[in-house]
Structure 1
Amino acid sequence: MEGLFDSEFEFEEEIIEGVRLKLKPRDAGQVDSQVHLTLWPAAIELCRQCLVYVDEEKRVLELGAGTGLVGIYVAKNKGCKMVITDGNEESVELIKENAKINSVNIIAEKFLWGGPAIESDIILGSDIIYSRSMVLPLLSTIKATLAPSAICLLANHTIRFNSLESLFYETCNQLGLIVKSLSSITDPLIKVFYLTHI
């Protein structure tokens, strides 16, 4: 039996300053089923934002990590305690492999939104708001996980986010989350949000 990532279908590439990832090419006919294995543009933006907002002594949680780029980048550049999660087992295995490639010490685990809170000082998520059905479970998870002094950074490309923007703000308001918009560093089409408790 061949391995999970058969070399005929995978490639390794340097994505951002010294972080190499094993990726699977996107099959145009299966985008929905491969969303967790795709590197989305907001991940690069979130990496840049983390250089500003993440301190090395913090406990950091990444939600819906897919390939693990953001968490691996943060672990490599900040040396903080990093827990990288995704709801898909195939992604979790890919994250572990990518962490080895980059020689970073992280915890990678399967985590479904709405599950028991993972204690964190900073929560990260890139391009994880792309369906109406995900907004409440995601924001409820963030609310349950955010300690009083914790923050959450979310980055989303407008092509997937604009139709959900009002629902996002309404749900944040209902849950008692304060949302502040940050200026994008890499791409004006990417929206970046800084969330805290009221």
Structure 2
Amino acid sequence: MTLTPTTSVAQFAIGDEATARIAVDRLNESFDDGAAAVTAFEGAYGRWAISLHFADPPDQAMVRELVALAAGDDAAAAVAFETVAPQDWVKSSLDALAPVRAGRFVVHGQHDRDRVQPNQLGIEIEAALAFGTGHHGTTRGCLLLLDEVLHAYLPRRILDLGAGTGVLAIAAAKALRCRVLASDIDPQAVAVCRENARLNGVGNLVESVCAIGFGAPAFAARAPFDLVLANILANPLRQLAGPMAQHLAPSAMVVLSGLLPPQAQGVIAAYRARGLVLVRHQIVEGWSSLLLQRR
């Protein structure tokens, strides 16, 4: 067992699950360099407790400002700070998480290996800084759409854009037993993706590269893509519509997520202008996931 050093924690409560989920995602975006780990748990009377864990004592005024932007002034005023003694809190958090099932795919930790059935494809992901363990509506939405696509379509050139821990790339590689290109703008995420692919037995199939947009040589070498999986955010997805379309094969399928339902139409319009039509729009846990096809 590896214990964390002494950590600092900022905590506050918020009114309902939907608001808590939005606040957590906004805070994760604010600390996307791994400076904080954000968790949320349901408490008494339907309220949700949100905690931010810091390796080093944070700037409390800055934290309150970010909480105010994410959850409002009342939540910011109620933030309480404390110091936590060394403990393996990452493992404790994961032990409390049930496996995530999405079609044939099951995202799980090491402690749940034996819960994966023979007719399922297990994707084992352990905690690695703040890149996600698959317990999020956007990841589940993408996996559900990927499972749907693979029932009727067998892509051979696959890209996971903004791969993070590599959940989607690993899922595609396991299901198809073919090569998948996974990219992320964060070098640490690239390393985590590479290690997770090895852990899941597809290290020889998933190529993980550090790249912004579509500028890296690996994209030109592997394009045109039959399937692109991009679980990012609404604004980057809109900006990437043009470059992505240039790297797609005819009839290519594209799975997009990381956007709230009100943002979906703007993203759909950006891709429609590049010749992609909407096949399915699904909402999972308050987050939109889109399946589009090039026509």
How does the TM-score come out when normalised to structure 1? Answer: 0.73
The letter of the residue matching 2:160 is: E
Amino acid at match of 2:289: V
> What is the alpha-carbon distance in structure 2 between the residues aligned to residue 183 and residue 167 of structure 1?
15
**Residue of 26, 50, 61 corresponding to 2:146:** 50
Report the alpha carbon displacement of residue 9 of structure 1 after superposing the two structures with TM.
8.1
> In structure 2, what is the equivalent of residue 24 of structure 1?
128
Counterparts in 2 of 1:108-119, with a 5 A limit? 108-115=208-215, 116-117=219-220, 118-119=222-223
Per-residue CA distance 1:159-197 (angstroms, 9 max, x = gap) = x4234233213322332322222446xx36342322223
Q: Which of 184, 190, 199 in structure 2 is aligned with 1:86?
A: 184
Judged with a 3 Å threshold, the aligned counterparts in structure 2 of structure 1 residues 76 and 114 are, in CA distance, closer, same or farther, namely closer
Alignment-derived partner of residue 29 in structure 1: none
- Structure scoring higher RCO (CA < 8 A, sep ≥ 6) equals 1
Q: Secondary structure at the match of 1:22?
A: coil
Picking from 121, 124, 128, the partner of 2:229 is 124
Shift of 1:123: 0.7
Tell me, yes or no, if the aligned pair for 1:65 and 1:85 is still in contact at 8 Å. yes
The percent identity for this pair of structures is: 20
Q: Deviations over 1:129-186 (max 9, x none)?
A: 24x3x13332123211111121111234xxx4234233213322332322222446xx
The residue aligned with 2:248 is 146
Bigger radius of gyration: 2
- The letter for the 1-side match of 2:197 is A
Q: Which amino acid aligns with 1:61?
A: L
Give how far 1:10 is off: 6.0
Once the two structures are superposed, residues 86-143 of structure 1 have per-residue CA deviations (whole angstroms, 9 ceiling, x without a partner) of 11111110001101111113111122214254412111122x124x3x1333212321
Quote the residue 2:292 is aligned against. Answer: 195
Tell me how far apart the structure 1 counterparts of residues 89 and 247 of structure 2 sit (CA, whole Å): 36
**1:162–1:74 Cα change, 3 Å:** same
Answer yes or no: is 1:168 the counterpart of 2:267. yes
Q: Where does structure 1 lack aligned partners over 5 or more consecutive residues?
A: 1-7, 27-36
Q: Is the 8 A contact 2:261 2:287 kept in 1?
A: no
Shift of the alpha carbon at 1:72? 0.7
| Root-mean-square deviation (Å) | 2.8
Whether 1:73 and 2:177 are equivalent positions in the alignment is: no
- Cα distance change, pair 50–167 in 1 and its aligned pair in 2 (3 A): closer
Match of 1:34 in 2: none
Structure 1's 44 and 170: CA in aligned 2 closer, same or farther, altered over 3 A?
closer
Matched, 1:38 2:132: yes
Matched residue count: 174
Gaps of 5+ in 2: 1-87, 100-106, 109-115, 117-121
CA distance in 2: counterparts of 1:189 and 1:146, whole angstroms: 29
Q: 2:158 matched to which residue of 1?
A: 60
Q: Distance in 2 between matches of 1:140 and 1:153?
A: 15
